[in-house]
Chains A and B, each alone.
Chain A
Amino acid sequence: MMKIYADNAATTAMSDTAINAMIPFMKEYFGNPSSLYSTGQVVAEALQNARERAAKCLGCEAREITFTSGGSEADNQAIVSAARIGEKKGKQHIISTAFEHHAVLHTLNKLEKEGFEVTLLDVHENGIVTPEQVKAAIRPDTCLVTIMYANNEIGSVQPIPEIGAVCKEMGVLFHTDAVQAAGHLHINVKEQNIDMLSLSGHKFHGPKGTGILYSAKTIPLTNIIEGGSQERGKRGGTENTAGIMGLVAALEEACGNIDAVTEKLIPLRDKLIAGLSEIPHSVLNGDRNHRLPSNVNFCFEGIEGESLLLFLDDLGISASSGSACTSGSLDPSHVLLAIGRVHDVAHGSLRLSIGENTTEEEIDYMIQSVKSVVERLRAMSPVWRDLQSGKREFIL
């Protein structure tokens, strides 16, 4: 049986480059970079070197890089920092979107409880926010605009440089959660008008539990983790040196391969989209053109996502869904609801996120498997029966 990993948006396998970059820092270079003797100092140097390389990948300065425990921590710190800066100036309004990751949304919820006001912009059916919307929403008391670079579920890519330009013009800080974009799309924070950016190592073949917060040097950060003077005093804790080495090696490798990987993935993604579009009463989620080269996301009417995933797993395919049953809550994914999919349809969603190792043969197998499983589930669905008999109206 084929074994296909099609959940690269959830996490990726580590690359040999990343693993090999880590090993020496678990063996001979185990020292604490804060120690003054040479066993520590050699690690401190390697850390500084890694910081410079990471900065180069993002188009910023080394001192603008903070290593974190991942995307979530970077999102938390960026938003809280901007809120504290705003607060001091009496600015307590934040603009974001309804389909951000929970690392962003829950941080915003927390700030709302403190008295901040949050405007969540509509992301439209295609999952894209426009710079005009951002401009219209900015008020004199707006202290932050935080909008994700690319959505983790439906893959839609936002007009980040243009949104950044609006924020710059209006003098508002701009943060982007680039966890799904970093290493996959070309990013240059200065050219793209980004003040703060979060990324996570495990989304581009680096280790889990590693991430970066880029923040322009003019922005005073607020600690999420209090402690020692590591990371310019802005993030306490002995550095995850091996993890940082793996993260930066993976980032460099991924950034160097963006064009080649994109060129390879787009035809595969488009073939998968074309194949799944043949399933009647289905819809592609996320903009057809402005989307990650790796992302395919569909809703199929009349079926539920978890049973779809279980049957696909039986066929050797690892995928994900935004159905309520897979999230452990009663509501389907907030992302699908944000693009206007009603509950009935949102429960029947499937995300396949391919990677550079995906083959055309695997694409064919996935199309055939999804088709047969959807058919099988529809055959036992009372909803599908009602749709077919006209008792219930088709939405898709």
Chain B
Amino acid sequence: MALYSDKVMDHFRNPRNVGTIEDPSGVGEVGNTACGDIMKIYLKINDEEIIEDVKFETFGCGSAIASSSMATELIKGKHVSEAMELTNKAVAEALDGLPAHKMHCSVLAEEAIQAALEDYKSKKAQ
């Protein structure tokens, strides 16, 4: 389908890091079924604040699945502070672009990562 770039289709067909993490350091879930997209991110973060592992589950369209997959790839092995800087633009660019009406999928991916990092921080603060 010409709707999406080859990159998007690759990440949709072979999503990286699908699944869950037991006893995660942080979990973030954004979106709702009413609008048709839900993303959930699980993080495993070590003492040096490096994201050792990241997994996702997504209910949504092709670009939602691809955006989640790409976002996890972009933060895996990175320091928490670096992951905090991830933008939806970076996700969309790494996917060689998204159709205009699908940009919100990359926003959702950014928000899901942020939510998981916030969860990690609040857990750590306790």
Residues on A facing B (Cβ under 8 Å): 302-307, 310, 313-314, 323-326, 328, 330, 332, 343-344, 347, 379-385
Interface contact A323-B61, CB-CB below 8 Å: yes
Across the interface, do A383 and B38 meet the contact criterion of CB distance under 8 Å? yes
The distance in angstroms between the C-alpha atoms of A379 and B59, with both chains bound, is 10
Instruction: Decide yes or no: A382 and B35 within 8 Å by CB, A313-B1, A314-B13 being known contacts.
Output: no
User: Of residues B1, B29, B58, which shows the largest number of chain A Cβ atoms within 10 Å of its Cβ?
Assistant: B58
Residues of A within 8 A of B101 (CB): 328
Enumerate chain B residues within 8 angstroms of A380, measured Cβ to Cβ: 15, 18-19, 57-58, 65
Q: Tell me the smallest distance from the CB of B27 to a CB of chain A, in Å.
A: 10
B42 to chain A, nearest CB (A): 10
- Interface range, B side: 20 to 34
Contact residues in A for B19 (Cβ distance below 8 Å): 380
Q: Would you list the 3 A-B pairs with minimal beta carbon distance, nearest first?
A: A325-B61, A306-B61, A344-B33
Using Cβ atoms and an 8 Å threshold, which residues of chain B touch A347?
Answer: 33, 36
Query: CA A323 – CA B12 in complex, angstroms?
Result: 17
Please tell me which one of the listed residues B20, B36, B40 contacts residue A332 in the complex, with CB atoms under 8 A apart: B36
Interface CB pairs A-B, < 8 A, 19: A303-B59, A304-B37, A304-B59, A304-B61, A305-B61, A325-B102, A330-B35, A330-B36, A343-B33, A343-B34, A344-B33, A380-B57, A381-B38, A381-B59, A382-B38, A382-B40, A382-B59, A383-B59, A385-B57
Residues of B within 8 A of A384 (CB): 59
Q: How far is the CB of B9 from chain A (nearest CB, A)?
A: 8
Interface presence of B60 (CB below 8 A): yes
Does the CB pair B36–A382 fall under 8 Å? Answer: no
Taking CB atoms, residues of chain B closer than 8 Å to A382 are: 29, 38-40, 57-59
In the complex, what's the smallest C-beta–C-beta distance from A216 to chain B, in angstroms? Answer: 43
Contact A304 B15, beta carbon cutoff 8 Å: no
**Considering the chains assembled together, what is the distance between the CA atoms of A300 and B61 in angstroms?**
14
